[in-house]
Structure 1
Amino acid sequence: MSPAGAPAALCTPACVTRSAPEIQPVELARRYAALAYEIGIAVTQGDRLADPRALRARARGILAALGIRLDAGPERLTVAGSRPGTLIVANHISWLDVVSLLAVEPVMVLAKREVGGWPVIGTLARRAGSQFIDRDGLRQLPHAVSELASTLRSGRSVLAFPQATTWCSVAGGRFRRATFQAAADAGAPIRPVTIRYHQHGTRSTTAAFLGDETFGASLHRVARARGLAVRVTAHAPLRGSDRRELAAEAQAAVGAYEMPAHV
């Protein structure tokens, strides 16, 4: 959830550095063909794409088409045995974050309204039953918090990015509190998750989606990247009733797993 008045990120496309040589044109063409194939399957599946197994398969297929390796531990994103759904909160670096987390465990996504119109990502998000919000709509915020709490009470789990915008590193941008209020109201567990990108064992900003960059420009840079991998790390769940404490604890858990320059 992106609260009203969220500040613009200090990260810009200038923060992106290329830590590995790019692939050859022939391989780039192959990747785009594989991506088009995955998109075609997603379109033909229609409402069947909402099935978690189908959604996970398409998300993993998109990562594979772009040559991205997914590193994820055995830990589920949702908290087993909880009647309220799980609020999954992660740092936000790229549009690839949504694809990567759906590839681990499909859940409902809370995203800014613009995402719904994006190719590939918008389709996956809509078919996953995503809720789209206007991050500049101050008067809509209480309603959005109430609606999210109701969704969690119903047993559905929700993925949110409380940094409100994308940053080039795990540590960028503080976690804003609105989503944590919804979890507190619903009595829902919170699962902090760290997302990190690397190339050949070195931390990478290639996937970062920053500033006024277009989706097409970002996609092209990602498609040309050699050896790009995404690591998803789920942390111990949190519970509580104070949104300030929950936001601080979640941010500390996510930030503690910032990848060193070399791994």
Structure 2
Amino acid sequence: MRHAWMPASPCGPSCLGGQEPTVGRPLRTLRVVAVVVVVFLSLLSLPLLAVIARMGRTWLTRATFRAVLLVMGVRLAVHGEIPGPGRGALVVNNHTSWLDIVAVNAVRPMRAVAKKDIASWPVLGWLVSAARSVYVDRENIRSLPATVTTLADALRGGAMVNLCPEGTTWCGLTHGRFRPAMFQAAIDGGVPVLPVALRFRLRDGAATTAPAFIGDETIVESVLRTAALRGLVLEVHVLAEIAPGRADGRRELALLAERAVDDVLAPAENHWTSSPVEVAP
């Protein structure tokens, strides 16, 4: 049931690219098969995650997500550094593709806030649940306070949690406003907010919307279109933390994070030519 709180995006099939360079059909097929194998192997490793030490879990999780990028032909360019474990933080980013959560966890594995229906997705839903995601029921606005409380408890307990505050995906050339509700959890938990800007481009620097997961398409359609791309680069820009107490309420906190991401996504020449600290794989 749709209500005023339900996130909505104007982006649809007309926003998607169509002139990007592509690879041949054999390589597309190989990429899809390889990503299925990686996901299958990650499922087999779930029991192992329960018994190995935290550093081992972090290494294995990061390796899995980096393997997804590798087999899909996606080059990850990281600008900045996400702090290591030891204290809680709410990591927020713009939302374009299913690759967003892959990229963030390829840099630093963490828990996530995910829409409730992902839990029922085959394979991917199992992985998201195994990562101890905090689920939000977007169709039931009355469940929001309890979800915020659960998230605040996780942050207060030292967890780093990833949130896409737009609540839905956009094409990447623009993004939606950061909805403030979940930012209350960072305030209640007394933790910083860490904005992260994600941007897709081709190897020659041209922006692309082809990896976007928008409209009514299925996850399979999005994966197949992404697997066909040649020279896809996903930039991860880790920005300055917003310290607890800096904002006067969740609305201002959301606005500060949104403006930080806007500054990177703006079409400024220096953003396209800056050198990443890390490039992987």
* TM-score, structure 2 as length reference: 0.86
Provide the rounded CA distance (Å) in 1 between the counterparts of 2:65 and 2:179: 27
Q: What amino acid does structure 1 have at the position aligned with 2:267?
A: P
| Aligned counterpart for 1:203 among listed residues 190, 204, 207 | 207
Aligned pairs (5 A) from 1:144-159: 144-159=147-162
Structure 1 residue 243 and structure 2 residue 246: aligned? no
| Aligned counterpart for 2:235 among listed residues 231, 236, 246 | 231
Aligned pairs (5 A) from 1:1-263: 5-49=5-49, 51-76=57-82, 78=83, 82=87, 85-119=88-122, 121-169=124-172, 171-200=174-203, 201-239=205-243, 240=245, 241-258=248-265, 260=267, 263=272
Tell me the secondary structure at the aligned position of residue 234 of structure 2: strand
Deviations 1:160-201 (A, max 9, x none): 011011011264210011111110111111000001111121
Q: What amino acid does structure 2 have at the position aligned with 1:35?
A: V
Alignment CA distance shift 1:132-1:205 (3 Å): same
Work out whether residues 9 and 168 of structure 2, in 8 Å CA contact, stay in contact via their aligned partners in 1.
Answer: yes
Tell me the secondary structure at the aligned position of residue 218 of structure 1: helix
Q: CA deviation at 1:136?
A: 1.4
Provide the rounded CA distance (Å) in 1 between the counterparts of 2:257 and 2:174: 12
* TM-score, structure 1 as length reference: 0.91
Work out whether residues 31 and 65 of structure 1, in 8 Å CA contact, stay in contact via their aligned partners in 2.
Answer: yes
Aligned length: 258
Alignment CA distance shift 1:49-1:211 (3 Å): farther
Greater CA drift, 57-66 or 233-242: 233-242
Fraction of identical pairs, as percent: 39
Provide the rounded CA distance (Å) in 2 between the counterparts of 1:252 and 1:92: 15
Alignment CA distance shift 1:19-1:231 (3 Å): farther
Provide the rounded CA distance (Å) in 1 between the counterparts of 2:193 and 2:121: 28
Q: What amino acid does structure 2 have at the position aligned with 1:114?
A: D
Alignment CA distance shift 1:247-1:141 (3 Å): same
Provide the rounded CA distance (Å) in 1 between the counterparts of 2:24 and 2:165: 37
List, as ranges, runs of 4+ consecutive aligned residues in structure 1 with deviation greater than 6 Å: none
Alignment CA distance shift 1:54-1:259 (3 Å): farther
Q: CA RMSD in A?
A: 2.0
Work out whether residues 65 and 102 of structure 2, in 8 Å CA contact, stay in contact via their aligned partners in 1.
Answer: yes
- Structure 1: give runs of 5+ residues left out of the alignment: none
